[in-house]
Amino acid sequence: MTVSQSFSLEFFPPRDQAAQDKLVRSAKTLQGLRPSYVSVTFGAGGSTRTGTAEAVGLLQNLGFDVAPHLSCIGSSEAELLDIIEGYHAQGIRRLVALRGDMPSGMGGDTGALRYASDLVRFIREHRGDEFTIEVAAYPEMHPEAISLEADLQHFIHKVNQGANGAVTQYFFSPHAYFDFVDRVRAKGVDIPIVPGIMPITNSSQLLRFSNMCGAEIPRWLRLRLADFGDDRASIRSFGIEVVQRLAQDLLDGGAPGLHFYTLNGSEAGMAIIPQLSFK
C-alpha cells in the first residue's frame, strides 16, 4: 500500500488575547492547505497546562484533528492521567509524548516517569491503542545524549513502548535526517519519521534556539544570514528559499511527510507549502 506524503503543523499556546487572535488567524489561513493534523506544545513541567488545553479546544472547534503535546518530567502519574483522560473525553485521539525539560528553579524531582518512553508505556497501559502516539527524534542527537549510538538505542526503546510515529527536531542538513532514518531502519524499526521543518524568519532567534536544542546551523547558512545583518525582509525571503529547497529534498528523498513549526504565524507556511510537490 502506498501512503501519500502529508504535512502537519505545530502551534504553541498563546499568552494573551492578542496572541490568541493571531493563532486563530494563522490557523484559519493555513487550514486551506489541508494539514493532516495540528499539534500544540506543552510548557516545561506543565507550565502551560491550561494554555495548552485551551489552544487544543480552540483548534478542535475550528475543525482540526489536534495532537496535544504532553511532557512527563516533573509531573505525577495522577496529574498526567488526569490530562490524558481529559483529552480522551473531549475526543482527542492523538498525542505527542515527550519527556520535556525541567524548568529552572523546579529542583531535581523528575516525577514518576523519567523518560518519554515511560510516558508512552503509561499511555498504552491506560488507554491501549486508542491514541496515535508520536514521539520526538533527533537526527543530530539529543543534546544530553552521551553518544549517537546510545541516543539511537533510547529512541528504539521509546518506539518499542508503543509509538506510532516520530517527528524530528529541526535540522538544515538533509543528510543528517536520511542517515538517522537508515540507522533506525537497520535496527528493524519501520515507523514513519517525519522531519520537523523550522522556518527562518529571524536569524538571532534561530541561532539562540539552535544552540539550546542542539540543532546545527551549517557554516554556509550562518554566513549567509550574517551577511543580511538587520535586513529582516531579505532574511525572510532567503529563509523561504532555503527551507522550501530543504523540504522538497526531503520529500523527494522519501520522507513520509513534513511537520512545520509555525511559530504561530502563517506567512512562511503559506509561502512554502503550496510550492511543494507531495507524492
Quote the least distance from Cβ 101 to ligand FAD, whole Å.
5
- DSSP letter (8 states) at residue 111: B
Length of the chain in residues, anyone?
A: 279
Using alpha carbons, select from 67, 72, 59, 51 the residue that is nearest to residue 28. 59
Q: Which residues contact 256 (CB under 8 A, 6 or more apart)?
A: 3, 5, 6, 192, 193, 194
Quote the least distance from Cβ 218 to ligand FAD, whole Å.
19
Q: Which three cell numbers stand for residue 206?
A: 534561530
| Catalytic residue (choose from 10, 54, 130, 140) | 10
Helix or strand holding residue 157 (H, E): helix 148-160
Helix (H/G/I), strand (E/B), else coil: 207: helix
Helix or strand holding residue 7 (H, E): strand 6-11
Quote the least distance from Cβ 182 to ligand FAD, whole Å.
19
Give me the residues that bind ligand FAD (CB under 6 A), please: 41-42, 44, 69, 71, 96, 98-101, 115-117, 136, 142, 144-145, 150-151, 154, 158, 167, 169, 196
Helix (H/G/I), strand (E/B), else coil: 95: strand
Quote the least distance from Cβ 139 to ligand FAD, whole Å.
10
Quote the least distance from Cβ 42 to ligand FAD, whole Å.
4
- In the complex with ligand FAD, the residue whose CB is nearer, 96 or 268, is 96
- In the complex with ligand FAD, the residue whose CB is nearer, 49 or 69, is 69
3-state SS string over 161-226? Answer: CCCCEEEEEECCCHHHHHHHHHHHHHCCCCCCEEEEECCCCCHHHHHHHHHHHCCCCCHHHHHHHH
- In the complex with ligand FAD, the residue whose CB is nearer, 27 or 98, is 98
Quote the least distance from Cβ 22 to ligand FAD, whole Å.
19
Active site residue 10: yes
- In the complex with ligand FAD, the residue whose CB is nearer, 197 or 235, is 197
**Exposed / middle / buried, residue 261 (Cβ in 10 Å: 0-12, 13-18, 19+):** buried
How far is residue 143's CA from residue 277's CA, in Å, rounded to a whole number?
A: 33
Matching residue, cell 488526569: 82
- In the complex with ligand FAD, the residue whose CB is nearer, 145 or 242, is 145
Using alpha carbons, select from 63, 110, 67 the residue that is nearest to residue 87. 67
Helix or strand holding residue 52 (H, E): helix 49-61
Report the catalytic residues. 10
